[in-house]
Structure 1
Amino acid sequence: MVRNAYPTFMQGWPMYFELALLAYLLDLIIGELPGKHPVMWMGDFISAFERRFYRDRILTGALLVISLLALTLLIAVTLAYLAGWLPAWLSLPVLAVLASTGLAMHMLHASVAGLLTAENPRQALSYLVSRDTQAMTETDVHKAALETWAENLSDGVIAPLFYLVLFGLPGIAVYKAVNTMDSMIGYKIERYFYFGKVAARLDDIANYLPARLTALLIIALADDRRRAWQCCRRDGGKLESPNAGFPIAAMAGALGVALGGDASYHGRIKRKPVLGLAVNAVNSTILKQALNMKTGINLIVLGILAIGALLT
């Protein structure tokens, strides 16, 4: 089945549950593989294009998007096709190892949990978020960590799995390219206002369904599901991003805390709405409670992938 999946891709719409299941297990057990991560290669391409061709114009940004997506798709399809001709016992593991580089549950959880024991939490947080962290209070650090955990459950786990299941290795590779471009040039600052517009809009489209699926997953694991659902419905669409607010609002409701609010980006205060209800204070205990959701998330995700693998 694996051998012929990619050569016959255009003859049907195979679902890659088995591949996604093994890739997710590899990420949970092993985490980041040694060597230069594919996202870093993508970042190098984006930086090189920007140095050579940068103009703050929509067309220039669109050319970057087209170039990186075309190159990523070509490489991913080639690798997937070649893997399809390996012996059956080897092809699936090879594809799973490649696909696991697009998943980040192990790294995301470890990075956010590391803030609890870091000697300098503000500096450690600066590697995870784009906002300014130097003047943050302890509460601010914990709030940013919760928001990072919630938002990146979508960007780093559910969204790549979603596109891996639907389109195999090319799907997860293209998604990571879109997400990487957004994280590097998708900001509404002077330099990227037009140059990053296409990348930002494409990322909004790619994350529309995964963000809402992530919110539902968080709600399912909440002690007070009703409150989590109500917060998600009421506050999910309040942020400038059409997607990020949903998992963050669901997390706020699940924990009974208020997230969001004004934050400093690139030296400027950005006014942002508050999501959730401040029933509980944001502290290390609340952050640990959020991180403990990892077990439930893994069980649900693995269960869905396993059922899908059995039925397809």
Structure 2
Amino acid sequence: MRGEHAAYACGATLGFLGDLLAADPRRGHPVAAFGRAAGAVEHRLWRDHRGYGAAHTALCAGGAAAAAALLHRAVRHRPGARVALTAATVWAVLGGTSLGREARAVGGALAAGDLDVARERLPHLCGRDPQALDGPQMARAVVESVAENTSDAVVGALVWGALGGVPGMVAFRAVNTLDAMVGHRSRRYRRFGWASARLDDVVGWPGSRLTAALTVLAGPDRRGALRAWRADGSAHPSPNAGPVEASFAGALGVRLGGTLAYGGRVEHRPVLNGGARPPGVSDIDRAVRLSRRVGALALATTVAGRLAVGAARRTAVAARSTGAGSRQTRRTR
């Protein structure tokens, strides 16, 4: 047990550093391969029915988690292989560096006044209609996407790694990917994507709350982050995006939320941190730096938590063994 927790801590750290040094490749990424497989399953299973959508979610997410569990079981007696598998999985499921790269690409185009390039790059971050957005609206979209994806692409994965190891991380990323593919409220996916969306809400809950808490801790305005989280976090239609976006808004001193065009429809979302100014181009880089600090703190928190649980279990086992030994000694006297 002790070796298992140490192997996870070492592997998670190496995988996190790997994401910092080598962002997601343009081609051949494992998550993209999962997306193609899930799309093929959807092609065969799709019906305008929640039951078929639930089967799609169970088959895709469950299959990915089962494959990861088999890999983890195969290396359980080989410490070096456990570290390597954990590192590779953490690198594959994290997307913090790619998130920052894409956000700064849009920010750079906006700073240069090239709205066409900014609109071309924005879909790499979010599903909003870029043609309906001007420069300030795109800056807001980028900051909101950085906030939400800090939870989805970094912190949430690390939380489930600490809780469930390699299978936990893979299951989380699979569910999150399915939600991005079929979990939105379009005519095609309103019923079929229901199960993926609801499951994503469940698995994303702990990561989003840890993200909001770490944003309060790491942000330039701690009081503002905490105040906005408390006041506006529950107003967002997403139970997990709300706390994260609100805390980012408060930490950065900007106003998020409002009207947006998404998936061919217009939504009017509540304003977060309403008394602040709207975000500008310079806030994109500030949001990326905050996201990186939150990610590093999440790694430290989850690794420390897993090591602490392992130490507590060892202490409990030792105490039971000592107690059993004492009782045996008394019986032999």
Judge same fold: TM > 0.5, yes or no: yes
SS in 2 for 1:272: strand
Match of 2:223 among 219, 223, 226: 226
Amino acid at match of 1:178: V
SS in 2 for 1:263: strand
Unaligned runs of 5+ in 2: 311-333
Task: Output aligned runs, 1:137-148, within 5 Å.
Answer: 137-148=134-145
Task: Kindly state the Cα deviation for residue 222 of structure 1 after the two structures are TM-superposed.
Answer: 2.3
| Residue 246 to residue 58, structure 1, CA distance change in 2 (3 Å) | same
Deviations 1:12-49 (A, max 9, x none): x9994333222212212222257522221221122112
User: Does structure 1 residue 107 correspond to structure 2 residue 98?
Assistant: yes
| Residue 79 to residue 274, structure 1, CA distance change in 2 (3 Å) | same
User: Does structure 1 residue 43 correspond to structure 2 residue 35?
Assistant: yes
Q: Is the 8 A contact 2:228 2:273 kept in 1?
A: yes
| Range with greater deviation from structure 2 (175-184 or 31-40) | 31-40
Q: Is the 8 A contact 2:211 2:294 kept in 1?
A: no
Match of 2:59 among 64, 67, 71: 67
Q: Is the helix fraction higher in 1 or 2?
A: 2
> Equivalent residue for 1:270?
267
Task: Kindly state the Cα deviation for residue 295 of structure 1 after the two structures are TM-superposed.
Answer: 4.8
Q: Is the 8 A contact 1:17 1:308 kept in 2?
A: no
- Aligned equivalents of 1:48 and 1:108: distance in 2? 26
Q: RMSD of aligned C-alpha atoms?
A: 2.3
Q: Is the 8 A contact 1:20 1:165 kept in 2?
A: no
Q: Is the 8 A contact 2:142 2:284 kept in 1?
A: yes
- Aligned equivalents of 1:237 and 1:230: distance in 2? 12
- Aligned equivalents of 1:174 and 1:310: distance in 2? 22
Task: Kindly state the Cα deviation for residue 310 of structure 1 after the two structures are TM-superposed.
Answer: 5.8
| Residue 183 to residue 197, structure 1, CA distance change in 2 (3 Å) | same
Deviations 1:41-88 (A, max 9, x none): 2211221122222111011001101111221122101221223344x3
> Equivalent residue for 2:254?
257
- Aligned equivalents of 1:282 and 1:229: distance in 2? 19
- Aligned equivalents of 2:25 and 2:184: distance in 1? 29
- Aligned equivalents of 1:44 and 1:253: distance in 2? 38
Q: How many residue pairs align between the two structures?
A: 303
Match of 2:123 among 112, 123, 126: 126
Task: Output aligned runs, 1:279-290, within 5 Å.
Answer: 279-290=276-287
Structure with the greater alpha carbon radius of gyration: 2
Match of 1:53 among 45, 49, 55: 45
**Aligned-residue identity in percent:** 32
SS in 2 for 1:140: helix
Match of 1:159 among 142, 153, 156: 156
- Aligned equivalents of 2:291 and 2:181: distance in 1? 27
Q: Is the 8 A contact 1:31 1:104 kept in 2?
A: yes
Match of 2:181 among 180, 184, 193: 184
| Range with greater deviation from structure 2 (27-36 or 60-69) | 27-36
Task: Kindly state the Cα deviation for residue 278 of structure 1 after the two structures are TM-superposed.
Answer: 4.2
TM-score (norm 1): 0.89
Deviations 1:66-122 (A, max 9, x none): 111221122101221223344x33431233113320111111111111112235111
Q: Is the 8 A contact 2:256 2:278 kept in 1?
A: no
User: Does structure 1 residue 93 correspond to structure 2 residue 84?
Assistant: yes
SS in 1 for 2:130: coil
| Residue 307 to residue 162, structure 1, CA distance change in 2 (3 Å) | closer
Q: Is the 8 A contact 1:16 1:166 kept in 2?
A: no
Q: Is the 8 A contact 2:154 2:295 kept in 1?
A: no
- Aligned equivalents of 2:290 and 2:53: distance in 1? 38
Unaligned runs of 5+ in 1: 6-12
